[in-house]
Chain A
Amino acid sequence: MTQSFRDRIDLEMTVNGEEVELTVPAGRHLIDVLRLDLGLTGSHVGCEHGVCGACTLIVDGSAVRGCLTLAAQLQGCEVWTIEGLTEGGVIGDLQKAFVERNALQCGYCTPGMLASAKALIEADGVPSRETIREHMSGNYCRCTGYEAIVDAIETVARQRAGETEPQARSGATS
């Protein structure tokens, strides 16, 4: 290794509103830094090749894949994980809708789903079901079959847009 290249990185960033300083292996991705170095185990590792979306979180306001982002690249960045989003109350309505609609079963995909859903609703107001399905198609869920997730997101999008009577779509189809 030459002098210019490092195998460990001194990193300063903001995680869930708290400034953190830590030294991490240069090749360690963000999810491992959050889970191993910071104890933030709410973010999950599902595939580590960017396909399953389980590790999706918010960096500088955008949804990103934690497994495809080296922590070394996040000097000075602002990272929000499910823990911080929960404490801040910014996705309380989405979380409530997910619980009410049973839009999660094992829950392993859910933190990533919520991050993706947050980004969608903030960008697209009241997206169509087709748009929700297309947008969320980067997040894998083996349990639900997705419909409940689409329903929950649609419900919250309508609520946030001030539609007091969200279209009655629920699992209560029986």
Chain B
Amino acid sequence: MKASIGGYAQAETVAHAIALLGEAGGEGRILAGGQSLVAALNLGTSEGDMLIDIAGIAALRGVKLDGDRLVIGALTRHCDLVRDPLVGEHAPLFAKAAPLVAHDAIRNRGTIGGSLAYADPAAEYPACAIALDAAIILEGPDGTREIPARDFFTGLFETARAEGEILTAITVPKAQDGERHVIREGTRRAGDYALAGLAVVMRDGRHRIGAFGLGDRPLLCQGAMAALDQGDVDGAVTALAQDVDPPSDAQASASYRRHLAGVLLRRIAADLGVAP
């Protein structure tokens, strides 16, 4: 289908974008790389939107260190995450996740901010953000606020972002010495959305597991994390089955996804050297 939109405006600054959002009166949609939004427009799942193009806002670009946290600008593209040295050093989980996102041509335009804000439960970054104990930075008419990633994703394609707010960045604690990041997923074809996936951070012997494709939102798998912390892989797999709440659809049943998640967890445990 041909996209049917209500209007288009280019924002010069974050403040401008926020003003445009207000002006759009509830119809505003933030357009960044467009790799999900334009697809949705072409599929006719969204129409009449007032598009606010933030792609030109320089302040939303780039990756920088801020004390013990790494700040990744919302407009950082998938292809930037793959090769950015700061990401590679301090948040390698994103560098490992980025190549799993779709294909080259998508990764050249799609952004981390867009992916987080879109909150597809099968997408990699939201689960990574949870596993990394990241924080989402939102700016709106009332100023800036920071939300822990685990509280940001509130449902199927739903987030804690208020209508007038813009996701400007994600911050993650810098990786510590010896910290391990692993992401594994099961996809039918390279670049597809995962049937199930797990992003795992091992920090100081403790594990944080973010699950994707296994619920209506990315899930922090606390039962499995606790068991894995004890070195109990079997217990972790058992707990994981309770931690997740996968959907059934044309691709796979909830039972299959739950099973696949367990297999992925065992393999990640082996990657991390957790005793079986």
Contacts and interface: CB of A to CB of B under 8 A. Distances in A.
Contacts of B79: 62
22 contacts: A2-B24, A5-B7, A5-B24, A6-B9, A26-B5, A26-B7, A27-B3, A49-B39, A49-B42, A50-B35, A50-B38, A50-B39, A56-B105, A65-B109, A67-B42, A68-B35, A68-B39, A72-B10, A73-B53, A73-B55, A119-B105, A137-B189
B171 to A, nearest CB: 27
B2 A27 contact: yes
Interface in A39-91: 48-50, 53, 56, 62-65, 67-70, 72-73, 75
Contacts of B261: none
Interface in B181-233: 189-191
A137 B191 CA distance: 8
Contacts of A49: 39, 42-43
B38 A69 contact: yes
Contacts of B53: 70, 72-73
A109 interface: no
B97 interface: no
Interface residues of A, number: 35
A134 B103 CA distance: 9
Nearest to A133: B190
A92 B39 CA distance: 32
A72 B38 CA distance: 12
B26 interface: no
A155 interface: no
Given A50-B35, A64-B105, 19 more contacts: A4-B9, A5-B8, A5-B20, A5-B51, A27-B2, A27-B41, A29-B3, A32-B2, A62-B79, A62-B108, A65-B105, A65-B106, A67-B38, A73-B34, A120-B104, A135-B103, A137-B191, A138-B102, A138-B105
Contact of B5 (A4, A27, A32, A63): A27
A70 B34 contact: yes
Interface of B: 1-10, 20, 23-24, 31, 34-35, 38-39, 41-43, 50-51, 53, 55, 79, 102-106, 108-109, 189-191
B104 A138 contact: yes
A110 interface: no
A165 interface: no
B109 to A, nearest CB: 5
A4 B23 contact: yes
A47 to B, nearest CB: 9
A9 interface: yes
A105 B109 CA distance: 30
A68 B34 contact: yes
A44 to B, nearest CB: 14
Kindly list the 5 A-B residue pairs having the minimum CB-CB distance in the complex, ordered from nearest: A138-B103, A5-B7, A26-B8, A27-B5, A27-B3
Given A68-B35, A69-B109, A73-B34, A116 B8 contact: no
A5 B6 contact: yes
Interface string A2-37: 101111010000000000000000111100100000
